A and B are shown apart, each in its own frame.
Chain A
Amino acid sequence: MGLMQRLSLIFKSKASRALDSAEDPRETLDYSYERQLDMLQQMRRGVADVATSRKRLELQAQGLQRSAAKLEQQAKQALDQNREDLAREALSRRAGVMTQLAELQVQHDQLKGEENRLVDASRRLEAKVQAFRTRKETIKASYSAAEAETKVGEALSGISEEMGDVGLAMERAEDKVASMQARSGALDELMASGALEDLSASSDPLQAELDRTSGTSQVDAELARLRGELDSGDPPAALEAPEEKR
């Protein structure tokens, strides 16, 4: 038997099992409707969970982007001070950050895909649950138990396919979220360990070195400026500004 038939048989047998379990087939309508409403609830929670995970990724990505920008700036600063060794260190950390960022982007896109899929699936289920509710009342009002059986069976198989779709979409989304959370947690640890941090963390020996060098060269520059002023006999630059306004 082909795949198409096997899958459809699975749905049909589920629906008929549900039908067999109740004495009056109309009871299964109410029971099934309850389950549909539960499923819609679960679905909405599922969408919210995926959105939360996606936002967490976005926050992490923003953090990484800030790190990358800061590291680049520090590399420039180091080059200004002729400290190629520090510039290299900053750039190699930046490369690490960029790799993480690219991987995060892939994961973000996947999660966004799952989110859209869930939203679509819940929209379809919602339409079908509405239709089911109307059909349920019609069947209950106009048929005896025996007559209702076929109608109930039809309605149940229709809705159980939709519930199957939703179940599958939820399962897939949960898998993605779980793997994303594992990764996200690992990234948090990596950032906490400082491996991806920019060099400005106070405990960072490289930033300390950069600050020290930078401090020294600033002092040198100030000294040079003062010497220049003394040599030329000009008044300090700061006092010139008000005079120019006149």
Chain B
Amino acid sequence: MIIRIMEEGQFEVEEDALPRLNELDTKLTQGVESGDEVAFAAGLEMLLTEVRTGTRLPDDYLGASDLVLPPVDSTLEEVRALLGDEGLVPG
């Protein structure tokens, strides 16, 4: 399974890491929804650390990612803008 950390790169992560990742992702999503900047930053850091234990794919690997995560120093506002879809993600 391939997971992208935006502005960092793509990682090949074992399937059996998924339950743990989903658990962290749920917490992170709650942080986004409740607007808790501190919980969000901490949750993101934990999730990214977990993803980075995977194997980093070369820069010229062209395949799409199964999952995508925002950059490590994203603010809540930036993540909302990403989810709001316009502007930040060109086709």
Contact = CB atoms under 8 A, between A and B. Distances in A.
B3 to A, nearest CB: 7
Interface string A5-31: 111101110110110000000000000
A10 B69 CA distance: 12
A168 B63 contact: no
B69 to A, nearest CB: 6
A4 B25 contact: yes
Query: Which of A8, A17, A135, A160 has the most C-beta atoms of chain B within 10 angstroms of its own C-beta?
Result: A8
B19 interface: no
Interface in A157-188: 157-161, 163-165, 167-169, 171-172
Given A10-B82, A161-B4, A164-B6, A5 B67 contact: yes
Contacts of A191: none
A18 B91 contact: yes
Contact of A2 (B22, B66, B70, B78): B22
Query: Which of A6, A35, A128 has the most C-beta atoms of chain B within 10 angstroms of its own C-beta?
Result: A6
B71 interface: yes
Interface residues of A, number: 42
B82 A4 contact: no
Contacts of A120: 7
Interface residues of B, number: 38
Nearest to A17: B91
Contacts of B69: 3-4, 7
A154 B63 contact: yes
A123 B60 CA distance: 10
B88 A158 contact: no
A234 to B, nearest CB: 74
Contact of B25 (A3, A161, A164, A171): A3
A165 B82 contact: no
A120 B29 CA distance: 28
B83 A7 contact: yes
A172 B67 CA distance: 22
Contacts of A12: 64
Contact of B67 (A4, A117, A121, A128): A4
B17 interface: no
25 contacts: A3-B70, A3-B79, A7-B6, A7-B68, A8-B4, A8-B67, A10-B83, A11-B64, A18-B91, A35-B90, A39-B90, A121-B7, A124-B59, A127-B58, A128-B59, A128-B61, A131-B60, A158-B64, A161-B64, A161-B65, A164-B88, A165-B7, A168-B78, A168-B82, A172-B78
Interface of A: 2-8, 10-12, 14-15, 17-18, 35, 39, 117, 120-121, 123-124, 127-128, 130-132, 135, 154-155, 157-161, 163-165, 167-169, 171-172
